[in-house]
Structure 1
């Protein structure tokens, strides 16, 4: 045995305690450095787990910062100006336009959904964008072939010009030079539209883009009172007055000059708020994935440190025999673990720094995201703090157990291992570090509620897994002794001192719970989209049906589909401006429901309770009601907004604020995809107001593609201004988004799963030395290789099976809570997916467990006995 200890002539300072002497002198660091010269054998899992978690947190944080700063830097280009003033359903008045134009140049952008038709009768839903001659004021649109915008969109030979998304050409079998009809106007396709500088600010649409001129839109007949059209007026301030203060001042002055306009105002600082919110939420999810990897990796840290202490017991015994205190031994090995922790964190930070640069290169030319990769010290410091706290929290406990172990016990630990809790300072230090890690996770989170749930769930799973391990050991210790020698050995290995049971159950259980949870969430979403919704959903949604044309529209639909069920309802757009007399902006609303106060929402009016709704609080108004305005609210949203029956809300519709009292609350069956709204008003609230109708069409027995296309052809030709949304196409688009999101989530969660596999391998490797020792002794006593393999396989199968059952149960409960409680969809248990995850975990446990002892079982015992 080689022992690195100080020379005997190094005296102890008089009057100073032995602990103080070792703590003050560089001896601890010298001994730690000498031990590290022998290499870092056994710490591969330690380093990989720590690096994985830190890399995930640092990379995700840096990527989000890069995207956020890119949005801020390119905000003016993304918005198309310094500020945007938008209205829904109506064009700004001349006075309102003048108020905006008084501060700089203005470009008008009009967006709506419509149907594009070709001579063959085929039609497709498109996102129509009409612009004036000033667009784009910032940035450039990419057209193929490139040509001036006035030439591109102007009128020639009886047709207006248009630039279209290449996807529309593929969908309708068109090419540049062909014609299509939108509304009542004919358009010649003069170019394809490769990119728009302000595309991100307008969100994601359901159809391909068609770019036309404002004059062409006015000539198309699509602009009708109450039509779902968004008018945006982009303001570019003079170059000398483009500071943030100037933008704030200009928007305030415009609001004062046009107080009744009720503009939706955005500045270049929040050019794409929905994208930023999505980035923040997805960043939080990925950060939690990184934290989960760190927590799982923390088990690997504890296993590696335990194995490290086991390998060093002769050195520890020698140090104690020459006078080293337990605290000194702890410090020496803590210094080594800390040095390796610094290395693991450094590796993770290097990978995390490289991630946003790699992402920027991968996304170049694929997604129009303004990613600005850079090195962000605050983000890296946060990731390093996470890594350091996780490493120390899981290392102090196993290191602390060496403090009070006597020299004699260390020497005989091979056959009689001691198991006792460390002293209370080490227990307190572990608890303090764990609390610090949890507080940091909550404090640094974008949504602290979700972070708190994650921390609580992690603690609960840890405790549950530890109890499961304890229960397994107690049950096997008191179980009847089987007649089979292999089974007796397997049961003994499960509960004996130094058993792998706690480490295997904890490391395997954490990863399996996450895998089952993600699998079942994914299957629930897929089932909701691909199986349940199409069976209940209508075949079409029809938008912008003029109120005077509703009866003729119904006759046309019934002629095309005589047995179909048609439902109609009036539809307007409005946004909440006040709650109980208080401005909606100042209302204290659950962040999960803040979306209801951002932008406009569909509203309707009805004399009867809408189909699919049930009154749960309050009373519905009489059919001939003529009193003050009343409104019915969807129950969950009303509760989230803090409303009760009798409270007053203000809703701006068509530029006019309607103050209405809440008459009742409804439960709504949204999953039917029927016509329903969060807010339903009494009919007299909108007496004389222009509005359009929304309709749904349900075909008998679900219809078919042939019948659906026939209905679309007849309705779009007879009513050019009506927009037909085929539900199957919309669901397919949503399904594609969900599949892409699910793939991204599973890929990101692979970090945690990789950490789980590493930790499981590390846990089994930590007991490798003892397992080899036992195998050699048993072979010496006559045990065959086959019987030993059967015993070990039975042990690992038992641990894997019980842990797999736990993972299935807890993962299923977690998936149910997330889908039903947070996502609001029906939980669908997928026995195949969950079963495959459990069987895979079981086989992995057996395979990794047997891999460690396979080689030694085929060799002669003598060579190993000489090295014992």
Structure 2
């Protein structure tokens, strides 16, 4: 390199005499230098590749899931268009309308108690199907049987297919009989898979599948009972236009039906939104890994410039302008980053195919592995902009440094800032990253919060590093050699303090944040139940039997607290006259407009509520159509006292006025609703009751099991739910999500370790000369190791304190402002994470130092 100047515009090595290269000169020289291999760029490659692979993999997987939902929309729904009703079956007029448009199949859903006599009873998710089920896809059972044989009635007993969990829970085998409501059924086969399982949502009990005739025979279909019937229409012409036309005709012809309409074009919008939200979270985790990796890029480039000091000095001494020097080495760095980007894109692109090949048969989701060129291009842009943003600073500093300064940088690095043009490039790269993150985000507000938090974290860590250096500079010098050397190393020219604090600080902050979020979610789900939380919930209590049911509970648990309220299901169809489908609600409130909600009416303010606006109804107001609305949701939906809400209940649309807003304490698990209506609103409407039983001495598994068994015998139409079982089901689901989050976040943590190793490697040359000089002057290996241990320990301890504070603040913000959960300071896991990070920092530092101390001084002294 020393003898090759950029003075050969028509010739490049390897092109041969008389064969001029068409490549630009800077690119030719960069490629020539890269012939020596990628030694020294391991950290840069790893950091870029990991970050890009995470973003590309998450995006590719999300696209595969979305494509799978779109491709399998008809199978998931069981038809082209579905019409869902609550509390009732479709009327003859409604059935005629649907049958005029295509082949119709019906499915019913409800919760029920399955009683196995002395073996006990269990809550099941009952699914009732018609004779043509499934219209699309295949029902898989063990042993495999046709649906007509599974569900047929023999000697007045209907057949059923059961989830294996139900057989295990009640110690049943095929051929055994269960009582559902007032009907007896026989278990004929084990349910393996349903083609439309996703559309059924998440249940709190095992699936039990029977026929629609079997459901009707059970007596569970009563006016006001919590049943849901879905009518699936297979259109003769199933193109997109026919689907849209059918949906529009249904809304126009039967506006009061109150049905929830879905199409195969968007088979499960709630699940699709969940995919988008989770994708954004994982993408931000990948971006975190990429930004943390950016620090590794800066360290690697700084070390690269240091290694190329002689070449840079030679080029500049022979007349090469600074801009050409910067352009040459920036080209090299971006070429190397390009290798990392390509590797990351390859991993990300292959991820959906690998998951499908390894777990395709086990996944409950329709995965359609596919290449996602758009998403891969976005991931590549992330990688390019990150590499450019973090490389331009260290490279730009070499533009104006004199040749003598470059040689002197070995012992006294120049502190000159890069030229404005390089700051301009840095600004453009950062602006590009911000624009890319905001443009591709599902929730731009969350993405903006992340960007601001990342900027603040970088700024604060720089301040911490400069503060440590300033403090070390002002502290009195220790008398002993090792502490004095450690203190000097913290603030001397070329100190590792900024690099280590930045790389280690980001990793510790991330670990502490995840630890606190994990601990608080676990506490909320498993340990935050109030002392007097209900032990049992009872659903679908027929209003005519409510008195007898109260007497039953009084006998079963004489000192228990019993609460009972009427309950119906209704769907919000309009707010202030605006159809719900046209309202753009925030993520924290959109769910209340999506599907049906539990509603009730009451004369008095429910327990666990307090009025925050307006007044509770009194006197003659009790007979008016009024509603009390949850205040937090009202704020999100821009509702206030005096506004109107239109709700469809039992196929009838009612418009009511908001009389008051109330704050609801949901965490006591008592009976409460988003909407509580005045009694006059639903006077005379059929309904069932909801009741809770709170044991005075707290949970009692034996007593609860006995009450469940006896209630199933005496009141077969009543569904009973143990609070612990419901929480366990939710806890299991959230546990899987937390596990996925931990796995994805481990990528960012692994990147921070690469960055830390790179920061230590970047200071290798300066430490090498230190060790050589000090050993020549008589320093022992033990004394130098002691000095370096103190230095790395001090850096690790200071950074751990910052990480604990910053991670705690980040965890508090995410839990209280984004997840709307209570925050409890539980630093047990956070302290362990911080301690582990300090040990790793000291260990990596000493590992590199040991290699340095093992070098012989002679070969280096000759070059001084």
TM over 0.5: yes
Q: Distance in 2 between matches of 1:796 and 1:317?
A: 32
1:49-128 residue pairs with structure 2 within 5 A?
A: 49-128=47-126
Q: Select which of 657, 661, 666 maps to 1:670.
A: 666
Q: Which residue of 1 aligns with 2:730?
A: 734
Q: SS at 2:122's partner residue?
A: strand
Alpha-carbon distance in structure 1 between the residues aligned to 2:479 and 2:205:
70
Q: Deviations over 1:141-188 (max 9, x none)?
A: 012222221221111133110011111111111111111111111110
* Offset from partner CA, 1:275-315 (integer Å, 9 cap, x none): 21111111111111111111011111111001100110110
> What CA deviation, in whole Å up to 9, does each residue of 1:247-298 have, x standing for no partner?
1112222222222102100000111222211111111111111111110111
Among 814, 832, 836, which residue is 1:836 paired with? 832
Q: Is the 8 A contact 1:61 1:283 kept in 2?
A: yes
> What is the match of residue 794 of structure 1?
790
Distance 2:9 2:707 in 1: 97
Bigger shift: residues 648-657 or 598-607: 648-657
Deviations 1:696-745 (A, max 9, x none): 11112213111110111121111100000111111111111122111110
Distance 1:90 1:797 in 2: 70
Contact 1:112 1:128 in 2 (8 A): yes
**Residue number in structure 1 paired with 2:807:** 811
Alignment of 1:157-172 (within 5 A): 157-172=155-170
> Deviations for 1:492-537, whole angstroms, at most 9, x for unmatched residues?
1111111111111111111111111111111101111221126442
Deviation at 1:474, TM superposition (A): 1.1
Q: 1:412 aligns with which of 408, 415, 433?
A: 408
CA distance in 1, matches of 2:405, 2:859: 26
Give the stretch that moved more between structures: 376-385 or 826-835.
826-835
Aligned pair count reads 855
**2:535 paired with 1:539:** yes
Q: d(CA) in 2 for partners of 1:833 and 1:597?
A: 39
Aligned to 1:5: 4
Aligned match of 1:288 in 275, 279, 284? Answer: 284
Inter-partner Cα distance in structure 2 for 1:65 and 1:489 = 55
Q: 1:539-688 to 2 correspondence within 5 Å?
A: 539-622=535-618, 625-688=621-684
SS at match of 2:315: helix
CA distance in 2 between counterparts of 1:661 and 1:494 reads 68
How big is the shift at 1:626?
4.2
For the residue of structure 2 that corresponds to 1:192, the secondary structure is: strand
CA contact (8 A) 2:26 2:327 kept: yes
Deviations 1:209-233 (A, max 9, x none): 1110111111101111111111100
The answer to whether the 8 A contact 1:589-1:642 is kept is no
Residue aligning to 2:456: 460
Answer yes or no: is the 8 Å Cα contact 1:607–1:623 preserved in 2.
no
Partner of 1:134: 132
Q: Deviations over 1:826-851 (max 9, x none)?
A: 21222220110110111111011111
Q: 1:654 Cα shift?
A: 1.3
- Give me the whole-angstrom Cα distance separating, in 1, the residues matched to 2:583 and 2:699: 46
Q: Which runs of 5+ in 1 are unaligned?
A: 13-23
CA contact (8 A) 1:564 1:699 kept: yes
Deviation at 1:490, TM superposition (A): 1.1
The secondary structure found in structure 2 opposite 1:761 is helix
Counterpart contact for 1:631–1:682, Cα < 8 Å? yes
Match of 1:179 among 177, 180, 189: 177
Distance 1:445 1:233 in 2: 36
How far, CA to CA, are the matches of 1:542 and 1:825 in structure 2? 27
Matches within 5 A, 1:469-480: 469-480=465-476
SS at match of 2:645: strand
821-830 or 455-464: bigger deviation: 821-830
SS at match of 2:470: helix
Cα distance in 1 between the residues matched to 2:670 and 2:834: 39
Q: 1:388 aligns with which of 384, 389, 405?
A: 384
Structure-2 separation of matches of 1:176 and 1:579: 51
1:715 correspondence with 2:714: no
Q: Distance in 2 between matches of 1:176 and 1:368?
A: 25
Task: Identify the range of structure 1 (574-583 vs 125-134) with the bigger mean alpha-carbon deviation.
Answer: 574-583
CA 1:217/1:10 → structure 2, altered by over 3 Å: closer, same or farther? closer
| 2:265 corresponds to 1:269 | yes
Q: Offset of 1:449 from its aligned partner?
A: 1.3
State the shift of 1:8 in Å: 6.6
Q: Secondary structure at the match of 1:701?
A: coil
Quote the Cα distance in structure 2 between the aligned partners of 1:8 and 1:556. 100
Hey, what does 2:187 align to over in structure 1?
Answer: 189
1:17 aligns with none
Per the alignment, residue 853 of structure 2 pairs with 857
The whole-number CA distance in structure 2 between the counterparts of 1:578 and 1:110 is 26
Q: CA deviation at 1:428?
A: 1.1
1:775 equivalent to 2:792? Answer no
Q: Is the 8 A contact 1:630 1:682 kept in 2?
A: yes
Shift of residue 5 of structure 1?
Answer: 1.4
Distance 1:462 1:166 in 2: 52
Q: CA RMSD in A?
A: 1.7
2-side partners of 1:251 and 1:619: how far apart?
A: 40
Instruction: Tell me: CA distance 1:555–1:10, structure 2 relative to 1, closer, same or farther (3 Å).
Output: closer
- Offset, 1:558: 1.4
1:521 is aligned to 2:517? yes
- Cα separation, 1, equivalents of 2:119 and 2:370: 52
Farther off after superposition, 521-530 or 586-595: 586-595
Secondary structure of 2:598's match?
A: strand
In 2, are the aligned partners of 1:4 and 1:34 still within 8 Å (CA)?
Answer: no
- Pick closer, same or farther for the CA change 1:258–1:850 going to 2, 3 Å: same
Deviations 1:382-406 (A, max 9, x none): 1111111111111111111110000
Of the candidates 198, 206, 219, which is equivalent to residue 221 of structure 1? 219
- d(CA) in 2 for partners of 1:863, 1:67: 59
Contact 2:258 2:649 in 1 (8 A): no
Return structure 1 stretches of 4+ with deviation > 6 angstroms: 7-12
TM-score normalised by length of structure 1: 0.96
- How many Å apart are 1:860 and its aligned residue? 4.1
CA distance in 1, matches of 2:622, 2:369: 60
Give the alignment's TM-score, normalised by structure 2. 0.97
Q: 1:795 to 1:59 in 2, by over 3 A?
A: same
Deviation at 1:99, TM superposition (A): 0.6
368, 377, 385: which one pairs with 1:372? Answer: 368
Q: Does structure 2 conserve the Cα–Cα contact (< 8 Å) formed by 1:494 and 1:500?
A: yes
**8 Å contact kept, 1:203–1:274:** no
CA deviation profile, 1:306-338 (whole Å, cap 9, x unmatched): 110011011000000111000010011011011
Give the aligned partner of residue 231 of structure 1.
229
Partner of 2:503: 507
